[in-house]
Amino acid sequence: MIETYRGTVYPSQIDHMGHMNVQYYVAKFDEATWNLFTNLGITSSYMRTKNKGMVAVEQKITYKKEALSGDCLNIKSKVLEFGKKSIKFIHFMYNTETNEEISNCELLGIHIDRLERKACPFSKKIYDNLINFK
């Protein structure tokens, strides 16, 4: 696993129950996703110059502990499986102080041609990165 996010829970991210609202879990996992993709070669410049993109088609979040205002969090990620056009991966969110798992998020992403708006194979370089990463 590699670290793909490090940040803090801000008071503005707290809901009426006194813990971080679900929308911020999703946002932090999304940031981790883009850091994971960058490590695989799916960078913003790659997507812009090649007219490629990634779309999430499935996402499952499990909440295990509360994240409270002021908590420092980190996310570690790993690739579970991949195909020529898809990648399945998981993020684990931890409280940095206690190292307890707060939440995890499993996602399935599809590589797309942004002009044709349909799935397309990863480039050879990205596919090779996926092979070497797993």
pLDDT for 134: 66
**CATH dotted code for 2-124:** 3.10.129.10
Q: Are 129 and 40 in contact (CB under 8 A)?
A: yes
- Output the pTM of the full model: 0.94
pLDDT for 72: 98
Share of the chain above pLDDT 70, in %: 99
Q: Are 60 and 105 in contact (CB under 8 A)?
A: yes
CA–CA separation, 45 vs 25, rounded Å?
Answer: 26
Distance of CA 62 to the CA centre of its chain: 14
- Per the DSSP assignment, residues forming a β-bridge with 93 are 75, 103
In the predicted model, residues of the chain with pLDDT beneath 50 are none
Give the closest residue to 5 by CA, choosing from 30, 42, 32, 23. Answer: 32
